[in-house]
Amino acid sequence: MRVRSSVFACFCLVLEVLGIALFLRGFFPVPIKSSFSSKSKLSDLPPEPFTGSSLNSSKVPDPLFKRVVIVLIDALREDFVFGPNGRMYMPYIRHLVERGSTHSFVAKARPPTVTMPRIKALTTGSIPGFIDVVMNLNSPALLEDNLIWQAKTAGKRMVFYGDDTWVKLFPKHFMEYDGTTSFFVSDYTEVDNNVTRHLDSTLKRDDWDILILHYLGLDHIGHISGPHSSLIQPKLMEMDDILKKIHGSLILKEAEGALPYLLVLCGDHGMSETGSHGGSSEHEVNTPLVLISPAFKKKVGMEKPSTVEQVDLTPTLALGLGLPISQNSVGRLIQPVVEEASLRDQLRFLHLNGHQLSYLLKDSMPAYEKEEGYEQFRVAEKSHGNWVKLVVEGNTSEVLTNMGKKVFKQYLEALRAMSAALSKQLGKYDMYSMVVGMVLVFQLLLLLLLAMPEALSSASEVDLPVSSALLSLPFYLLCLLLSSVHVLVCTSAESSCYFCSLSWGLVFGAVALSSALLCILVSMAARRRAKPPGKSPSHGGVSGGWSLSELDILLLVGTAGHTLSLSASSFVEEEHQVWYFLLNTLCLVVFQDVCRKYFRERRANIGRLEDEDYLLPSNEGDAVASPLADLGVTDAGSERWLALATPPLTLACCRLLRSLNQTGVQWAHLPDLGHWLNSLEHKMVLSLFAALSLALIYFLVQRRCSWVSKIALALGLLGVYSYRAAVGNVVFPWQHGGGNMSKGTVEARFVYVFVLGILFTGSKDLLRSQVITADARLKSRGLWEIYSGVVLLVALLFRAHNLPVLCCCLLVQTLMAQFIWKKLHYDAAQTTIMHYWFGQTFFYFQGNSNSIATVDISVGFVGLESYVEAPAFFLTALSTYAGPLLWAAHLVCYLSSEKRSSVAVGHGCYCLALLRSVPAAAYVVLVTALRYHLFIWSVFSPKLLYESMHTLLTAAICLFFTTMEQSRSSSRP
């Protein structure tokens, strides 16, 4: 079966995406959940251990606190309270920490340090799976057993004000609530005032038991200007005042004889030195936890707060309120909180906590009995029983106290061990699904590689021996073998695999596909071996034959080197450095090529060139017909100088853009131009920059559009500016009183209209060129219009300080296309690799990195009133991958421009698919090999998500390529 190389590439890439999806499903462990669908009930609680016959009191210990107020300050970092600046930032709380009746801890949040997983962790006590990050914005109701549900079931009346993630997670749980959206990241006063405005009336009333406040302002300040900004201190002082007010009113309300109150101050996660969060650096992970209650002993001075896990708060609160601990909690009781209770009660608390942990352990681990913690717990329970018996018998000797202390220690030890075992359990992988996905990806990569000579030949067609493979005996044998392996694995494995749970039809499809691929691979390899390697190689380059030019060597070595570099965590964190480095070298090598061409030519003109065999194809014909005319350049001499100036100019652009957004991990905290531009006093400069960039974007894009699109583009770009002005990023000349900030919905929708209009015009031209007239010029204009529509959309989504990135991207594309790629006669493969490299580099120029924290989710709301999943996801993906997307779009436009040979698009598509498959396949293997690496969750997993997303995007681009080529071949009768 002969297929065109673009179709072939598409087919491989789409299947590869499926393979990667299967791998991802196996790689990201589903968080441990006990199999019981019910929730913990009071009646299920175990009785107090007692050796002997009767007197089993199944009574739950009384609650320790009557009312609980939880003040959660988003992104509250540990050193904001406990650090040297704490006294300045939060004087009242700091005073309480040092002198009041409080307990303070550093609570460690588990990565991913993103708000929703943290809220889930705080309420369920379990550690949410990594995949929860992806669902961060779309938060469906929490069905798992959790503290809030328990409190509601126990009849506690709860009031909530703050981030509406809570309201979505716990619908109908709160007696009274007001959710604020965190959607408007540049607002840091209004969100908090919306919470505080209810406070006075609520504090006066008596009809609630639990009050939860979630303040978002600090997090927004962090995102805007980082942890050292001047906005931090006023915000923290505001928080301090609020806490003082709450504390004061709680003290006033306190009645003699009744149970005491508990005031909890905590943070969901910290913030990094750049003000973002999501990763696992010390500053993101360490949050303060301050518990204030008259039940505690008064402190006499500042002590170094001890460290607990964030999930430990859940069982502590549950026991403190007399509620059952939620089933999936892996936390353990924070012991100092209960230290004022009687020894018998303390033991009882520890026993309840241990009982819940041992149940979870039993449920999630087949070999639970061999666990150290489980055994310890059994021993402790037994001695606890003995101790209770002695107490009940009225024994009050010294020995009894010592024995009780021993039991106490045993319990603590057992809790620690069980909690650790459960946390470790999280790192369990579904190896079978992973291996199946990996095998599929690798088969496709090999197929792509084996087909390289054919796919890049002048026919641009691949001969796949499909029918012979499907009719051969080995294919059926392989199917049988793989099916039996599947049955064997699925019946023997004790843990559940995703692949086994798939329906039989799907599994058989995968098995048949895999066997067919194997047969095709083998027969293709045999054919390759049989055929003498007579054809010229793909990367023959300009000189032809087997010799590789410096450029080819660089492109090959660079691609291989980058793939290898992914195996080191530092290189994954600092991947942008690798790309900047490679791109610089590429520009220098191109510069050398240009120099060589033009200087050698001059020598030739003078007539001193000896070897006539080395003469590049002369460019006299090109110079006249080239599109230089529209830049006003017709003279060959000035053209040469422009060509010579292009690589240095590109280098200068890259150097500038690189200092626009500091990214990565090690040097991310260094000051960059982006922060400088975004600070309030440089708003004027930012506005000028943005306006200038938009003007230049218009100038660069409008050249090849029809006049309708030109007008639409101009209006659209004006709309972009007014949107930025409406949001408050830039100043608008006719705007007075900059106080009123809106969401800019109207302006954004205005731009959307033009984007859709331009895209529509473009597609109409494309369709007409395909169906009615086979006009290459019309088609190229249609493509260009689609491209300019994408540019306009990206201009809307990019932050104001990133507009120069877009502008430089277009500038470099224009210059390179006109003076380098066309003039130096690079073939489609070389051009594609260069485009790919540029795309990758621009991905990082935008300020992206390989950590989840840099994904700018606020673009998901541009022009929308509220969160709608599909457009939000689409917009976020588009703006994150704008760099690679724009370069790929430019590649399509460039390769299908009139003068290219008709196979160029096919070659480009194939190269793009291969370029994406190599790192993706290598990375899948690497991640599997490094799955027990220390940084697997913080460094390698986010990168895996990025790689998968990028592969998905490339598959979409390749599909577009294929349709482009299809229309070309069909238009050629």
- Residues of this chain that interact with Zn ion (CB under 5 A) are 74, 115, 219, 268
Q: Which does 240 bind (CB under 5 to 8 A by kind): Zn ion, other proteins, none?
A: none
Q: Which does 770 bind (CB under 5 to 8 A by kind): other proteins, Zn ion, none?
A: none
Which two three-digit tokens encode residue 792?
């306009």
Q: Which is nearer to other proteins, 289 or 665 (CB)?
A: 665
- How far apart, in whole angstroms, are the C-alpha atoms of residue 599 and residue 767? 45
Is residue 553 a contact residue for other proteins (CB under 8 A)?
A: no
Is residue 669 a contact residue for other proteins (CB under 8 A)?
A: no
Per CB under 8 A, the list member of 574, 765, 785, 827 interacting with other proteins is 574
Confirm if 540 and 546 have CB atoms less than 8 A apart. Answer: yes
Is residue 59 a contact residue for other proteins (CB under 8 A)?
A: no
Q: Write the burial class of residue 605 (CB in 10 Å: 0-12 exposed, 13-18 middle, 19+ buried).
A: exposed
Does an H or E element contain 905, and which?
helix 904-929
Report the first-to-last Cα separation within the chain, whole angstroms.
Answer: 22
Confirm if 451 and 12 have CB atoms less than 8 A apart. Answer: no
CB of 223 to Zn ion, least distance (A): 6
Q: Which does 506 bind (CB under 5 to 8 A by kind): Zn ion, other proteins, none?
A: none
Residue 108's SS3 state is strand
Is residue 483 a contact residue for other proteins (CB under 8 A)?
A: no
- How far apart, in whole angstroms, are the C-alpha atoms of residue 844 and residue 835? 15
Crossing angle between the packed helical segments 707-727 and 745-771, to the nearest 10 degrees: 160
Interface stretch with other proteins, choices 503-511, 597-605, 734-742, 944-952 (CB under 8 A): 597-605
Interface stretch with other proteins, choices 16-24, 442-450, 651-659, 807-815 (CB under 8 A): 651-659
Is residue 934 a contact residue for other proteins (CB under 8 A)?
A: no
Q: Which does 782 bind (CB under 5 to 8 A by kind): other proteins, Zn ion, none?
A: none
Is residue 710 a contact residue for other proteins (CB under 8 A)?
A: no
Which two three-digit tokens encode residue 877?
């993906």
Is residue 585 a contact residue for other proteins (CB under 8 A)?
A: yes
Q: Which does 577 bind (CB under 5 to 8 A by kind): other proteins, Zn ion, none?
A: other proteins
Q: Which is nearer to Zn ion, 74 or 187 (CB)?
A: 74
Per CB under 8 A, the list member of 197, 378, 603, 777 interacting with other proteins is 603
Is residue 600 a contact residue for other proteins (CB under 8 A)?
A: yes
Q: Write the burial class of residue 714 (CB in 10 Å: 0-12 exposed, 13-18 middle, 19+ buried).
A: middle
Q: Which is nearer to other proteins, 506 or 595 (CB)?
A: 595
Is residue 615 a contact residue for other proteins (CB under 8 A)?
A: no
Q: Which is nearer to other proteins, 573 or 965 (CB)?
A: 573
Which two three-digit tokens encode residue 629?
């005319």
The angle at the Cα of 859, spanning 858 to 865, to the nearest 5 degrees, equals 80
* Residue 226 DSSP code: -
Q: Which does 115 bind (CB under 5 to 8 A by kind): Zn ion, other proteins, none?
A: Zn ion
Is residue 654 a contact residue for other proteins (CB under 8 A)?
A: yes
Q: Which does 610 bind (CB under 5 to 8 A by kind): Zn ion, other proteins, none?
A: other proteins
Is residue 546 a contact residue for other proteins (CB under 8 A)?
A: no
Q: Which is nearer to Zn ion, 115 or 626 (CB)?
A: 115
Is residue 543 a contact residue for other proteins (CB under 8 A)?
A: yes
Q: Which does 585 bind (CB under 5 to 8 A by kind): other proteins, Zn ion, none?
A: other proteins
- How far apart, in whole angstroms, are the C-alpha atoms of residue 737 and residue 731? 11
- How far apart, in whole angstroms, are the C-alpha atoms of residue 531 and residue 612? 35
Does an H or E element contain 586, and which?
helix 575-606
CB of 574 to other proteins, least distance (A): 4
Strands, E assignment, 792-833: none
Per CB under 8 A, the list member of 149, 580, 723, 752 interacting with other proteins is 580
- CA-CA-CA-CA torsion sign (923, 926, 932, 934): negative
The angle at the Cα of 574, spanning 647 to 114, to the nearest 5 degrees, equals 130
Please name which of 359, 281, 296 lies closest in space to residue 324, comparing C-alpha atoms: 359
Please name which of 95, 137, 251 lies closest in space to residue 874, comparing C-alpha atoms: 137
Q: Which is nearer to other proteins, 312 or 827 (CB)?
A: 827
CB of 885 to other proteins, least distance (A): 25
Is residue 658 a contact residue for other proteins (CB under 8 A)?
A: yes
824: amino acid identity, one letter: L
Q: Which is nearer to other proteins, 491 or 605 (CB)?
A: 605
Q: Which does 745 bind (CB under 5 to 8 A by kind): Zn ion, other proteins, none?
A: none
Per CB under 8 A, the list member of 571, 676, 760, 867 interacting with other proteins is 571
Is residue 832 a contact residue for other proteins (CB under 8 A)?
A: no
- How far apart, in whole angstroms, are the C-alpha atoms of residue 756 and residue 878? 15
Per CB under 8 A, the list member of 596, 682, 710, 900 interacting with other proteins is 596
Per-residue exposure over 161-190, b if at least 16 CB sit within 10 Å of its own CB, e if not: bbbbbbbbbbeebbeebebbebbbbebbee
CB of 516 to other proteins, least distance (A): 41
- How far apart, in whole angstroms, are the C-alpha atoms of residue 562 and residue 572? 10
Is residue 552 a contact residue for other proteins (CB under 8 A)?
A: no
Confirm if 492 and 427 have CB atoms less than 8 A apart. Answer: no
Is residue 560 a contact residue for other proteins (CB under 8 A)?
A: no
- How far apart, in whole angstroms, are the C-alpha atoms of residue 412 and residue 354? 9
Confirm if 331 and 360 have CB atoms less than 8 A apart. Answer: no
Q: Which does 219 bind (CB under 5 to 8 A by kind): Zn ion, other proteins, none?
A: Zn ion
- How far apart, in whole angstroms, are the C-alpha atoms of residue 441 and residue 822? 35
Per CB under 8 A, the list member of 36, 546, 614, 641 interacting with other proteins is 614
Which two three-digit tokens encode residue 311?
């999930």
Is residue 282 a contact residue for other proteins (CB under 8 A)?
A: no
Which residue ranges make up the site for other proteins (CB under 8 A)?
A: 543, 549, 568, 570-571, 573-574, 577-578, 580-581, 584-585, 588, 592, 595-596, 599-600, 603, 610-611, 614, 651-652, 654-655, 658, 664, 666
